[in-house]
Amino acid sequence: MSQPTLITQTQQLAALVDRLREQPTVAIDTESDSLYVYREKVCLIQLSLPDADFLIDPLASIDLSPLGPLIADEKIEKVFHASEYDVMCLRRDFAFTFANLYDTMWVARILGWPRVGLGDILQEHFGITLDKKWQRHNWGKRPIEPAALSYAQYDTHYLLRLRDVQLRELQQRDRLEEAHEVFSDLAQSKYNGHEFTPDDIWHTKGVWDLEGHAQAILRQLLILRDREARRQNRPAFKVIGDKTLVQLAEHAPRQLEQLRAIEGMTEGQIQRYGHALLEAIARGRKDPPPALPARTAPDPDVMVRFEKLRGWRKQAAAQRGVEPDVIVSNAVLMELAQRRPRHFDQLPALPWFGPWRRQTYGPAILQVITNT
């Protein structure tokens, strides 16, 4: 395998895009820095053709807009592995739109392959073993180490050959229409991240085990942690973990020495944040308990239909030898349980429940709903 070409200048990218426009298929992947910064960003874009690999550096002084029309081009197939996250990040950072997408991981799932991770597939089909240490690499660091560039190259180098292997099996098993419907849904993926708010307290594991006054303390601790994470440009979990914050809220220490008894607290954290933590805890003691989020009790009849649909899906998945969500997602099943369609023309057109799924699974779904 030859060395990849590193693209760091707009002129280089323009020449590459001219070359890519002549190709029917291109493999794509991205690397981000979510483990190392407060707001993640795309730090590397890998592209592969049958005879060459390219690594584009978005952190260099480079205009990436010429890639947009290429990615949106219906005539050029874009091959990803586990595309949803890549599509979200590229749409978020560069406002790209996607058409004619192919996802080798989803095809592996549709075909019922026992292992669908790229490392496992490369090992099984091409005898390639990837060094897992690079999975947690800081892709925002410059310059990029040669070994890291080599690892990134492997993420796309074999995807076009893998696509050809899968395509033959999809055609033999008459699953191509199903796959195309999945690809269409994946192309619409949007970034679902959000800015921190104090209401994030209700998504913190362990919050429901705390009393109201302790929840008020936890809220102040989360505000402090977010402020520090922003200031340091670090992920919040690397400042102080959720479990430790819950312990702090529960025990509400008043002195620095008492922080050492909190599970998960390190000396470094005590030195850096000790006084600020005690101040946040003191503020939380004075606060009223935070207002509980509005909760709607589930309709018992809806939940019965939902569980019956899940039971049907489990059997259908077992018969095909795939994971249950390959058949229909939980979100779709809940929507169907709530709407309770009785006739085929009442089956709703939903994301991840397109024409192929409605035609293939609709009659069985209607039978389950009718009999419940």
Architecture field, domain 5-186 = 2-Layer Sandwich (3.30)
Please determine, looking at this structure, whether the domain spanning 198-286 carries the CATH number 1.10.150.80.
yes
Q: What is this structure's pTM?
A: 0.93
Residue type at position 89:
C
CATH of region 300-370: 1.10.150.80
Rounded to the nearest integer, the mean pLDDT of the chain is: 96
* pLDDT computed for residue 131 by the predictor: 85
Residue 363's pLDDT is what? Answer: 97
Q: Do 262 and 253 touch, CB atoms closer than 8 A?
A: yes
Residues of the chain with CATH 1.10.150.80: 198-286, 300-370
Residues (pLDDT < 70) of the chain are none
Give the per-residue pLDDT at 1: 79
Q: What is the pLDDT of residues 234-280, one digit of tens each?
A: 999 999 999 999 999 999 999 999 999 999 999 999 999 999 999 99
* Residue range(s) of every CATH 3.30.420.10 domain in the chain: 5-186
